[in-house]
Structure 1
């Protein structure tokens, strides 16, 4: 199998048709170019160039090899350049996703701080449904997501906790729980519980029979709760950002706080992603 250097030398000589100019482009000696081409021709078994004292020309086999090889070689080179650029984190686009208004507001503040450090990097925001979080991360649709924790998986990296908030239960305005000042975890067993498709170990433990709506977004789940089809565990910020006349938010007094943080694929932990996570951690450490 030819080596990368042999193919690069062959394509550069096919462009220049001059050993000296090819050597200058590759920063090697003319003798090295000649040796590399002879080695490649021995591998293939036929001459790729005709050489005289006055000119260098491609043979028919050489011309066909250029036609077949050049597009793929250019594509590989471009892919490597993009990987280097992404790893350095200097330019390009960082795609961040959020699931609701509060998350979008937090990420907008993080992006402002991040752009001060990386002015050449553009931040692109995407709104994501719970069922899309894992596919988007694993398929490269986005680079990083603000999600409820833990979102444990061997192929994902979780940044520091950015937000901790009390848990509430969203129920229909006319539900008996709406007249209570609070509920407990044990009360979850008394009502049908709604949840999205994202993993939630706490709900798995305390509401294992919860009805999971794989494609449902937040507004759809709140509508179901308001229609009396179930109770929806949410974070405290939902009460502030999504007040609805058909929904009452009741605190769950003995539930652990809900945690939020940034999650990204381990395979794409670029400097851009790490820099964004650092900016987020610094922002939430500052006094409000």
Structure 2
């Protein structure tokens, strides 16, 4: 019995489709089928019932697969511990974060983690979302806090909050007199939004939500942070888009923030980790963030109505 046979069996059980399991494991369907047959011969019974239309798990499979998952996790845990020991970082938690999101994670969740694991050393790194996802997949990062709705199948995520997007305007801009902005009012206006190279999903998500609400989107400039957005807004050369939490944290003289009319465009914040992680500090941080989220601790503060006036 080989580790890859167990991995293929688990993949088929989760996908209930040999072709999708093969795609997930980056091998041919023939390889998956052959390894499953070998495993079934060794067990002396089928794990799956196959028809031309569907795959189902047999009673033998129902009994075997939880043990297979446990064996896979144990092997990966041993590899992870060995790698960490080899680098001298057994007690280190490598944490990636998007710069606009990191402060809330450190203020709210990290103290609770230190209370549970005082010996764990945190190694935080500001990173773009694509870099976080890449380094998680490559096992160079333990957990990330990023803007995303999509990630590879080897990663898992927890929605921390769905945060409304707000409009940043120069105080003298005609739209600043509005209580709320209809997205169509931004048609042909010079907009400043997140760089696509920094986060393709977030950039496209902003644009698609505006277009769905009737906006003809004209991008004046793409920026990587709110600090770079605000001077452009203040000069009157552009209108900015940012999340409500970042707006509340950065009042700026001469700049006002306005919400969108309902339903507001939004951005998702998620913590992301490897599905096969065996690091107890990662599991603890996930639980802490979930508990805080469920109490509303991560909800953005109310945006000041006219911080620039």
TM-score norm. by structure 1 comes to: 0.59
Q: Equivalent residues in 2 for 1:1-288 (5 A)?
A: 81-83=81-83, 91-100=91-100, 103-128=102-127, 132-139=128-135, 142-150=141-149, 152-154=150-152, 157-196=155-194, 197=196, 198=199, 199-200=201-202, 201-205=204-208, 206-207=210-211, 209-211=218-220, 213=222, 216-254=224-262, 255-264=264-273, 270-286=279-295
Identify if the C-alpha distance between structure 1 residues 97 and 286 changes in structure 2 by more than 3 Å, giving closer, same or farther. Answer: same
CA distance in structure 2 between the partners assigned to 1:224 and 1:265 by the alignment:
39
Q: Give the distance between the partners of 2:283 and 2:254, measured in 1 at CA.
A: 41
- Work out whether residues 160 and 261 of structure 1, in 8 Å CA contact, stay in contact via their aligned partners in 2: yes
Count of residue pairs brought into register by the alignment: 203
Aligned counterparts of 2:230 and 2:156: Cα–Cα separation in 1: 27
Secondary structure of the corresponding residue to residue 181 of structure 1: coil
Q: CA deviation at 1:188?
A: 2.6
Instruction: Find the aligned partners of 2:278 and 2:172 in 1 and give their Cα distance.
Output: 47
Question: What are the superposed Cα offsets for residues 89-122 of structure 1, whole Å, 9 maximum, x if unpaired?
Answer: 972233232312x641333321111222223211
Deviation at 1:257?
A: 4.0
Change (3 A) 1:115 1:246: same
With normalisation by structure 2, the TM-score equals: 0.55
3-state SS in 1 of match to 2:109: helix
CA distance in 2, matches of 1:261, 1:270: 19
Partner SS state of residue 172, structure 2: coil
Question: Which of the pair has more CA radius of gyration?
Answer: 1
Whether the aligned pair in 2 keeps the contact of 1:103 and 1:146 (CA below 8 Å) is yes
